[in-house]
A and B are shown apart, each in its own frame.
Chain A
Amino acid sequence: MNNDNKTKEKEIKATINACKLCSPLGASIVFRGVKNAMPLIHGGQGCSTYIRRYIISHFKEPMDIASSSFTEEATVFGGESNLITGIENVIKQYNPELIGIATSCLSETIGEDISLYVNKYLRNNIGKDNPKIVHVATPSYSGTHIDGFHKSVKAIIETLVKEKINTKSKKINILPGFLSPADLRYIKEVLEDFDLSFTMLPDYSETLDAPIWDEYKKIPEGGTSIDQIETMNNSVATIEFGKTISNEFSGAFFLEEKFGIKRFNLGFPIGIKETDQFFNILEKLSGLSTPNKHKLVRGRLIDSYVDGHKYLFGKKAVVYGEEDLVIGITNFLFEIGIIPIIVASGGNSGKLKDFIQNNGAYISNNEINILNGVDFSEIEEIAFNLKPDLIIGNSKGYKIARKLNIPHIRVGFPIHDRIGGQRILHVGYNGTQNLFDSITNALIEYKQENSPVGYSYI
């Protein structure tokens, strides 16, 4: 496959229209997925405000992130008192069970010793009903929002999971990665259908997609409870979605190494093959065969693959976004005859190409450009030459779709130019069906709109 990232614009050192976000954003979303928890960014006021605005614009939900509001004095003399005041004020206002502290580039660079500050705080407040405090280092110069996401999941587990109690549990852990609230709800439903008890971390399926309220909630209801997290070492296995997660940042790897809990690392369950893998493992863990309800969905999905295949065959797609989402979507495209001519991510794990499995005899490898660590200007330049038929990814690729006048199928995060980003279902047989219908109909619509005839029967 083509791995040559050189483009004309790449001769420019700067990043132009980044295809990634910074690490504390991922941390904030994870902490919002723990029950009664508050994220706090230890850094300048802007970090929390910008990240809030970005998250709110996607989920259309309140998203409170506290800030320690760094000042010039704090930068010179250390931010201990800002952090302590921050913690105290968060407790006074929100009374959380957990505070998740994410350190920004500023506080990381001046070398803040958070565990020292936190231990001091806890020592001075013995006897009080203190919240749990979890710290994760998320300097924005290191990795992307996805690294911040995984590191935070791991930090929560590392901090809260203590000694192993040997009970005969059939519970499993599930670390779903950065999916939509609709995806999380779907996964929970599947697990329930398999009669499995489970702990999902994080679970922002309600906190970031809540019903209308009758009164204002300081912290939205829902999320993984601390009790559940504390007993994650009693589970029989951990299922983790995301092939590109390094062992260093993996909560599942940590649980396996420290407590011997079997880790199943899977790709995002998008497409039939990846979803089958997920269901196979659930069959194994539950001892049950796949419930008929899901077999039917799978059957209908294949039926639709057949119904729609002629609209799709040989169409050229640009796919971009977070690496694991991109891998999932790309491998799904291979199942339905679309050629993913550009597979791109701002993430730079270096593993993207390892997991793009071109099994389609219909595509030659050199048609596929796999681009790690790129920005939108590079994607645009290459796309321009390759004349794609459609583009699949978050809202930020809209400009490319508009320039090329091709359909844009919105998936992932952020969706800032449509409502309902939080309700997009990507995973499982149901999610694949949703994506399949969206893609096929977008292509049919494009053909219809651009036809001089305007058939109403396609």
Chain B
Amino acid sequence: MIKILEERKEQVFNKGKDSFEISCDKKSASGSVSQRACVFCGSRVVLYPIADALHIVHGPVGCAVYTWDIRGALSSGPELHRLSFSTDLTEIDIIHGAEKKLYESLIGLIDYYKPNACFVYSTCIIGVIGDDVEAVCKKVSNEKFIPVIPVHSEGFKGTKKDGYKAACEALFKLIGTGSANDVGKFSINILGDFNIAGEIWVIKEYYKRMGIEVVSAMTGDGRVNEIKKAHGAKLNVVQCSGSMTTLAKMMKEKYGIPFIRVSYFGIDDMANALYDVAKFFGDANILENTKKLVKEEILKIMPEINFYKEKLQGKKAAIYVGGAFKAISLIKALRLLGMETVVVGTQTGNKDDYNDIKDIALEGTIIVDDTNPLELSKFIKEKDVSLLIGGVKERPIAYKLGIGFCDHNHERKEALAGFIGMLNFAKEVYGTVLSPVWEFIPRK
């Protein structure tokens, strides 16, 4: 029998049965095998796809090596982000401090790789040995004439969300340092896309067809010089709201740039993401282009989508992902395929997010914050789902029980955003749910 830990009881909610407010935004319970990582992870995942910057992890080797080239974030040019740089601290450095090692590492790396900026990630131990990372960064920046930005990502200083915030603060230091004179009036920044499997290229193409200029996609196929002039854009379009809303708010306050929240997953949300931008600018041409685009794209994929829907009708699914906005999109996308979500959870959802999920979820759905493998295995078995959507850490939970799985995390190599992404998603779900291998599964 798998029991829910006492301190987690308010983080597990059964719609139609429970009436409390879901408890969230708190540290993971000690001894619970949380699927979350740490502050460092939050910063690292957000900044990672900036491909012409040098990302160096200041600490012992582990944190750098576990995050080496693990994401599907593609670049159309430089690929500096796919290398792993670490100061690889040893006992001596811990005893005597490692500022000199960091300094020398940075100088050597900058001379060799000639990056357009450096991000220096502090790991747990830097917070304890007291290196003045800020001062080292400033010194190197002055000597090498490129931005060298400290990221305050000590693992223990909060949750993954605090890491997102540290990444936003690091980006904010770059924004506004370049000239935005050439930015036009129908211009946007895309926040919170990471160009997994080339998704940003799909999205950018849509905006281009609408007549919208993308100034910077920040972290999707990211470039330092684009980020520097991001303050010139007239609107911030925030996807993956969990990680980048902080930056959008900071930019609104300093540069007066309004922001909207969107999702590129599923047909409805994708179409809305385009329409919302078109409506913001209120230009007749753009609106017309958008309508045309949406119609074309939907017509292109619907026949195939309908084929999959017929096959998948009535199957049940569970979702456990990082951000809540994505979870909601996935519930809708699954509905489009005739599937109902009966378990849904996130690592970093907040109170508003969970209220939104409660609204859209069916009666009897289990809604869960910061779950662990034992709970998740219990829910997916009890609810008898045919599909779990999650990341690498969730995959064996599904597979060991003989349940289909779709990877919707940063490691995936399939593009799932955009209209074409919806079709890829449908194919992937179909391919796992209807595989003949389940015939041999012993689970009753």
A and B interact: yes
A residues with CB within 8 A of B: 9, 11-18, 20-25, 40, 43-54, 56-57, 60-72, 74-75, 82-83, 85-90, 92-94, 104-106, 109-110, 139-142, 210, 212-218, 377, 396
Q: Chain A contacts of B280 at CB under 8 A?
A: none
B72-102 contact mask (Cβ, 8 Å, vs A): 1 or 0:
0000000000011111111101100000010
Q: What CA separation (Å) do A240 and B216 show in the bound complex? A: 57
Q: Chain B contacts of A18 at CB under 8 A?
A: 61, 64-65, 68, 84, 86, 88
Residue in chain B with minimal CB distance to A52: B393
Q: Chain A contacts of B38 at CB under 8 A?
A: 44-47, 49
B residues with CB within 8 A of A: 2-3, 5, 27-41, 56, 59-68, 70, 83-91, 93-94, 101, 104-106, 108-109, 112, 123-125, 127-129, 155-159, 372-374, 377-378, 381, 392-393, 395-397, 399-402, 440-444
Contact indicator B90/A69 (Cβ below 8 Å): no
8 contacts between A and B (CB under 8 A): A12-B109, A18-B64, A18-B86, A22-B61, A61-B396, A61-B400, A63-B396, A106-B156
Contact of B392 among A48, A57, A93, A105 (CB under 8 A): A57
Q: Chain A contacts of B372 at CB under 8 A?
A: 64, 93
Contact indicator B124/A43 (Cβ below 8 Å): yes
Contact of B2 among A49, A89, A93 (CB under 8 A): A93
Residue in chain A with minimal CB distance to B378: A216
Q: Chain A contacts of B41 at CB under 8 A?
A: 46, 49-50
Q: What CA separation (Å) do A61 and B158 show in the bound complex? A: 29
Contact of B90 among A74, A141, A218 (CB under 8 A): A141
Given A44-B124, A61-B400, A141-B125: A215 and B90 interface contact (C-beta under 8 Å): no
Q: What CA separation (Å) do A382 and B59 show in the bound complex? A: 27
Q: Chain A contacts of B157 at CB under 8 A?
A: 72
Q: Chain B contacts of A105 at CB under 8 A?
A: 59-60, 62, 94, 123-125
Contact indicator B91/A62 (Cβ below 8 Å): no
Q: How far is the CB of B163 from chain A (nearest CB, A)?
A: 9
Q: Chain A contacts of B399 at CB under 8 A?
A: 60
Q: What CA separation (Å) do A71 and B27 show in the bound complex? A: 8
A-B contact count (CB 8 A): 239
Further 6 A-B residue pairs, CB within 8 A, beyond A15-B85, A70-B124: A9-B112, A44-B156, A45-B159, A50-B62, A93-B374, A106-B128
Given A45-B155, A64-B373: A87 and B105 interface contact (C-beta under 8 Å): no
Contact of B37 among A12, A16, A46, A64 (CB under 8 A): A46
Given A16-B83, A87-B31: A109 and B94 interface contact (C-beta under 8 Å): yes
Contact indicator B34/A85 (Cβ below 8 Å): no
Contact indicator B128/A45 (Cβ below 8 Å): no
Q: What CA separation (Å) do A57 and B68 show in the bound complex? A: 14
Q: How far is the CB of A38 from chain B (nearest CB, A)?
A: 9
Q: Chain B contacts of A69 at CB under 8 A?
A: 27-30, 32, 34
Q: What CA separation (Å) do A85 and B5 show in the bound complex? A: 11
Q: What CA separation (Å) do A14 and B140 show in the bound complex? A: 15
Contact indicator B66/A54 (Cβ below 8 Å): yes
Q: How far is the CB of A107 from chain B (nearest CB, A)?
A: 9
Residue in chain A with minimal CB distance to B158: A72
Q: Chain A contacts of B36 at CB under 8 A?
A: 45, 49
Q: Chain B contacts of A216 at CB under 8 A?
A: 2, 374, 377-378, 381, 397, 400-401
